[in-house]
A and B are shown apart, each in its own frame.
Chain A
């Protein structure tokens, strides 16, 4: 029970075809994964314009580096979302460092992003079940653990920045992050 196995297998096969330059496979891969990729990027960046740009960069990277994907090292979905998260975090840090400051970012960060912005029509029943399961597992964490995931994963802070933000010492934060992930992993039955 580690996620939707059928989707995973499909994605593995599709990535193999994408690696050989198959643009139809790339289109299918995009259709199957766009809500996950865009949704995660949007959760980090909170600006639709920036999120679409970053999503484009992610899929370009997929197109370019699909041949480097090794299914022995993890699932295709994890490979893809790791790339998406990395780019989103890089972008949010660059924006916050002010190196590419644009006013629309400030305006767009006001409201907290919520998970409710999805399109229910696009969600299959399986995706809906998985979403519910994830929500339950997140709810099972302590408030402090959820806060660590929020800051370290969704807001793009480093663990040292998290410790400063929460005025907690580094080793406390490190173990809190680790415990949060361990809790999620066990709850979601990830091997």
Chain B
């Protein structure tokens, strides 16, 4: 059909393949390729493929080693379901039963779920990881790393903590959901509960804007009494 238009479209294949177009242009190009005569679409797709294969080889020039912690953070959430469920018990929630409303992963609720249902087809973790809007935020915490993967669509998140130093004797780590009305306790963890890699499911993120951690004396506090160690924005 209109030769100049087809030529223009083919000219865009290279920047398109390199993600050097705006989102609006990308959508427009996708539309035009879908509507183009099949030889034009095929030529466009061939060019895109060749550019991407070329840049895949070029990536040898930018290779860089990520930190060793990243491996644990990436692999932990996709481990088989059972270990995640067991480790979920490490945060003690019963202490702040009234305050725990914002985070509904009560140990009791979890236990009931296990007894009454056959193994769930899709866990909260799987649903979060499969959500199109899944986001990841990482912050250093107690010589280790806290990473939360969350989905606003699913209203849930998966927290992975790796290589944390245990809290000092007589203190606990306490997790807080920060919302418009300030922090709400989301559980505590003492030295005995700390393992090299821990996964935690968060349901009902609600209007929380961040997840935060403090060290608290004894078995925890109703409100933070020490400076925040790490804050993971949920945005």
- A interface residues, Cβ below 8 angstroms from B: 2-3, 23, 26-27, 30-31, 34-36, 38-40, 42-43, 48-49, 51-57, 59-60, 63-64, 73-75, 77-78, 80-82, 85-86, 89, 100, 115, 117-119, 122-123, 127, 130-131, 133-135, 137-138, 152-153, 156-160, 162, 174-175, 177-178, 181, 184-185, 188, 190-191
Contact = CB atoms under 8 A, between A and B. Distances in A.
A34 B55 contact: no
Given A56-B147, A74-B49, A63 B129 contact: yes
Interface of B, secondary structure class, is helix
A164 B69 CA distance: 41
Contacts of B66: 34-35, 38, 51-52, 55
Given A81-B59, A190-B54, A118 B64 contact: yes
A56 B70 contact: yes
Contact of B71 (A30, A51, A115, A160): A30
Interface of B: 11-12, 14-15, 18-22, 25, 49-67, 70-71, 73-75, 77-80, 129-130, 134-138, 147, 149, 235
Contacts of A137: 58
B20 A130 contact: no
The 3 A-B pairs with the shortest beta carbon distances in the complex, nearest first, are A39-B64, A119-B65, A38-B66
B85 to A, nearest CB: 15
A185 to B, nearest CB: 5
